[in-house]
Structure 1
Amino acid sequence: MKTGLQKNNSKKEMLHTNRSSDIQEFYRNKSVFLTGGSGFLGKVFIEKTLRATEAKRIYILIRPKKGQTVEERIDVMFKDPLFTELNRIKPTARTRLAPILGDCLLPNLGISSTDRQTLIDEVQIVMHGAATVRFNEPLHHALAINVRATMDLIQLAKKMVKLQAFVHVSSAFANCTVFHNDEIYYTNELNMTAESMCKVADLLGPDKTNRMTNEWCGKSPNTYTFTKALAEEAVLNQGQGLPICIFRPGIVIPTYREPVVGWVDNLYGPMSILYGVAHGVLRVLYIHLDANANFVPVDMCANLMLVSAAQTAKTVKQSPTEPPTIYNFVPDERNMLKWDTYRRTLEEFAPKMPLTNMIWYPFAIVVKSKRLYNILILLYHIIPGYIFDFLLLLMGKKRRMIKMYDKIHKQTAVLDYFVENKFTFTMNNTLKLFHSLSSIDQSLFNFDMLAINWYEYFYNSLLGVRRFMGNEEPDTIPKARQLWQRLLILHRTVQLIVYGGISALLSWTFLRVFHVL
């Protein structure tokens, strides 16, 4: 078993040789405009583009945040371990990144006239990755970011005199009202167009629009999937004449290989479950273990974005009247990942690399009945939460457990639709694209989901979560194992007391009844 956080030196050495690569040649001296560059996928895309290609410039849409200027935010980004290798081999790469001050919440993305003209004159490739990924985002807000910004960017792209490719990052679950998704459009599932929905939202205003969320979303389970589906409709009908395609990734999770194995910078989705269980907080999971876990490594997503742009630039010239190509990206059906595989590998590896800040012995009870789940969270979350908060109160500390559990339960509740329904996908376009690459480009820009060893991948992901989210290096594992042993003894003791008490109560009740009889 590999250590997981070691660099894949052979692959990196290959990346920086002078061997011929069609994809590298396509990006040579070109300018890219990226939205969503400060997000999880955006950062990986920036790092890979700067490290693996000689792109002239990456313009990124970015805004000041939390008291930091855009330049300060970029400086902080480049100090992340994700960029360590890039900073080592290409110390001037930072100069190829140019901020464009803007905000997807604002009309025309909040871009100044001067910056708009720069983009119009210079950009050959657009990568639209900006989105709000919160499932329960207020509808008016989600429409502004996920739909209106997409339409505004399409109109801006139509003015770009050098444009060769536009990649719109959607989601494999954008059309989740359909349980088998082909690489086609599902506009018939919508009750209106993107343009008309935005016009109605403008007329109604935020409060009225948000109050009518259920009516507008229809069969869509949340505002995220509804607005992502609307954005796809905008690409299809407003993107006519553009060299444009749609990339639909599954649930994006830590890096598979590069530039650092297991890198992650957020605790969304599966990683939040993983960290919650490892921390000893999350103890009951509502999951159907036989369902497909449609996870995709973030570095493979960045690679497919780069390759799909190059392919779009070539194929749209040949067939300009065809609908924009869609690339679904989920685990290969010949190497399918089930939630049960995810659970079993984590059960095996978690005790070998626990956290040093666990609050309780980590364990998880998996159920597929919502009614049973609600009973168990009362027993394993709510009641222990009140007990823990009471102890904190006695120690003069701030109570936090019930508030935290309330947040966890609200977040997990929005996933019920995806737990209760099974989704399958075709990936014909994606597989065809990969097999059309030269062997060099298949290696340099790998997105072959068939080749993933899921057993090894989750081992590396666990190490990555410890290091990048828990700030715990591998040398802390011995100390964490000692804590794990102590918490195990405490956990078994509590179980003995509780189960013993229940047994005694039942025995006493039985004897009383028997005595009465």
Structure 2
Amino acid sequence: MSSDIQNFYRNKTVFVTGGTGFMGLVLIEKLLRSTEVKRVYILVRPKKGKSIEERLTDFCQCVIFEGLRNTGAKLTDRIQPILGDCQYDNLGISAEDRQVLITEVNVVIHLAATVRFDEPLHKAVRLNVRATLDLLELAKEMQNLESFVHVSSAYANCVVQSIDEKYYNRKLGISAVKMCEVANSLGPETTNKLSTVLCAAYDNTYTFTKSLAEDAVLNEGRALPISIFRPAIVIQTYKEPLTGWVGNYYGPSAALYACARGVLRVMQMQSEHRAHLVPADLCASLMLAIGWETARSDQRQRLNLAPPIYNYANDDENPLYWRQYMSTIVGRGPELPLAKMIWFPFMITVSKKWVYDILTFFYHIIPGAIIDVLLTLKGKRRRMIRLYRGIHKLTKATEFFIVNEFQFTMDNTKALWDSLSARDKDIFNFDLRSINWKEYIKFSLSGMRLYLGGEGPETIPRGKIMFKRFLFLHRLTQLLVITLFVSLIWCVASKFFL
């Protein structure tokens, strides 16, 4: 028996930007597996040496589609690439492809964005703001458009710490249209220099430009059947279609892998703060539900109301705290160790920046320098100090969101969940209260081993052997360091006081 959401997407044509990314893959897989969607158009950037047809073939070979492939489904019959790039005017889409989208598309899901926190402002404006404005203009021409879901971020409005499902565009100081005009007029170099002024309150260009994109939706997309989805930190899948699947080295998943390899040993965080982590598969279900709800709710358009916003983050009904997340990982770590670890995996969390800086010097820089010297003596390329520079750059970029405490209201999201039929709740589950966090973290560890580390269950015995060896070496090193420290103290005391 089909559900309301399934009935809505049946025989529909959906256009997805950002479909080749981590979240896009999860969304498209869910759309193909759980609905009878007619066609999914995905925006695909040109790549030197590969046609978009070849890129589509590679895309369809992703492990996340394995279940669909095993059913005999031919994915290329339902997925069609559209050559384009968000860096260019009108998304770089040809006039012919543009006409296809105008004629056929019923639903738009705009996922494409640069998620680099340190992206130069001019490029971030082009990708996150100008592309959104161009897509809104394209949507206005679509003859059969029923729904448009713009994917933002729960942290897009980090200028406030209690974030409701409303717009904070007055905090920007400039509109989306005006910012694009300024960037075009000034050019990359001058625009990038202005980032320290324009983005000061937002900590980085990512949150600033994502907030500008929301302003674009509010002021330029109001006439459209459109909504905004604001997920918090999107991480590995919970149960669908694979447990613990992750497609890239980014955010908490990258930190988890670096920790498991024995590379990342110190992190700055407030362990008593809420960990606003949301599984990618639940996000995909919520996006599809928002698409359905947006299409069936025409009262907003008649009354010219602001497009609704759906926040999605951890709340009091099933809370997850950083201390709980870290302690569960530490507790489960010995069960699922990596065979490729380079040292005993452990993690020290601190709240003070000065303590963090001291500990990273002793736990990261010094060991990294020693390993690089050994590699040089063996005639191999040095890599550890360079690796730590990358890790420290990543942790610095995410530090603002982990150290500071944010709260989110989710009235619209909860109301949407309550409005679903029992059938839809079963197929398109996005209820965060249903997550068993301990189970989920175990899935995350298994997924991290398999999809980031390339280590299947058969490598666990080898991993456990490595774990025991490095634990012995770790304890021995600790003993030597303590002995040297005590000896140094004794020598100093003997010289001056005895």
Matched-pair contact (CA < 8 Å) for 1:263–1:465? yes
Q: Does 1:193 align with 2:175?
A: yes
- Aligned 8 A contact 1:332 1:450 in 2: no
Residue 514 of structure 1 deviates from its aligned partner by: 2.5
Q: Which residue of 1 aligns with 2:364?
A: 381
Contact 1:393 1:399 in 2 (8 A): yes
Instruction: State the match for 2:44 in structure 1.
Output: 62
For 1:89, the aligned partner's letter is T
Shift of 1:62: 0.5
Tell me the residue number matched to 1:99: 81
Alpha-carbon separation, structure 2, partners of 1:505 and 1:129? 57
Offset, 1:93? 3.3
CA RMSD, Structure 1 to Structure 2 (Å): 1.0
Report if aligned partners of 1:247, 1:305 keep a CA contact under 8 Å in 2. Answer: yes
Q: Give SS of 1:33's match.
A: strand
Q: Secondary structure at the match of 2:337?
A: coil
Q: What letter matches 1:368 in structure 2?
A: S
Cα distance in 2 for partners of 1:53, 1:67 equals 34
Any idea what the Cα deviations from partners look like across 1:448-504, whole Å, max 9, x if unmatched?
001100000000010001001111001110011001111111111111111111111
Give 1:451's aligned residue: 434
Once the two structures are superposed, the pairs formed by residues 175-254 of structure 1 within 5 Å of their partners are: 175-254=157-236
Give, as a single letter, the amino acid of the residue that structure 2 aligns with 1:432. A
**2: CA distance between counterparts of 1:192 and 1:119?**
31
Q: Of 250, 258, 272, which residue of structure 2 is paired with 1:276?
A: 258
- Name the aligned partner's letter for residue 158 of structure 2: C
Match of 1:41 in 2: 23
Q: 2:118 — aligned with what?
A: 136
1:412 aligned partner: 395
Answer yes or no: is the 8 Å Cα contact 2:251–2:398 preserved in 1.
no
Aligned residues, how many? Answer: 497
Match of 1:195, as an amino acid?
Answer: V
Q: In the alignment, is the contact (CA less than 8 A) between 1:331 and 1:450 conserved in 2?
A: no
Judge which range, 35-44 or 208-217, deviates more: 208-217
Map 1:30-429; keep pairs closer than 5 Å. 30-65=12-47, 67-317=49-299, 319-320=301-302, 321-429=304-412
**Partners in 2 of 1:396 and 1:371 — Cα distance?**
36
Offset of 1:328 from its aligned partner? 0.3
Q: How high is the TM-score relative to the length of structure 2? A: 0.98
For 1:280, what is the secondary structure of its paired residue?
coil
Return the alpha-carbon distance in structure 2 between the equivalents of residues 67 and 460 of structure 1. Answer: 37
Tell whether the 8 Å contact from 1:353 to 1:480 is kept in structure 2 after alignment: yes
C-alpha spacing 1:102/1:118, structure 2 compared with 1 (3 Å): same
Shift in Å, 1:90: 4.6
Does the CA-based 8 Å contact 1:63-1:69 persist in structure 2? no
Structure 2: tracts of 5 or more residues without a match: none
Following superposition, the deviation at residue 69 of structure 1 comes to 2.3
Partner of 1:514: 497
Q: For residue 9 of structure 1, what is the aligned residue in structure 2?
A: none
Q: TM-score, normalised by structure 1?
A: 0.95
The Cα of 1:319 is off from its aligned counterpart by 4.6
Could you say which residue in structure 2 is the equivalent of 1:492?
Answer: 475
SS in 2 for 1:481: helix
* Cα pair distance change 1:265/1:66, threshold 3 Å: farther
- In the alignment, structure 1 segments of 5+ residues that lack a partner are 1-18
Aligned partners of 1:280, 1:326: CA distance in 2, in Å?
Answer: 41
Q: Whole-Å Cα distance in 1 between the matches of residues 62 and 14 of structure 2?
A: 22
Q: How far does residue 318 in structure 1 lie from its aligned partner after superposition?
A: 6.0
Following superposition, the deviation at residue 419 of structure 1 comes to 2.8
Contact 1:367-1:373 within 8 A present in 2 as well:
yes
CA displacement 1:282-326 (0-9 Å, x = unmatched): 111101101111100001111111110110011125653111010
Quote the sequence identity (%).
51
Instruction: Check the 8 A contact 1:121/1:160 in 2, yes or no.
Output: yes
Deviation string, structure 1 residues 396-451 (Cα, Å, up to 9, x no partner): 00001111111211221122322332000000100110110100100100000011
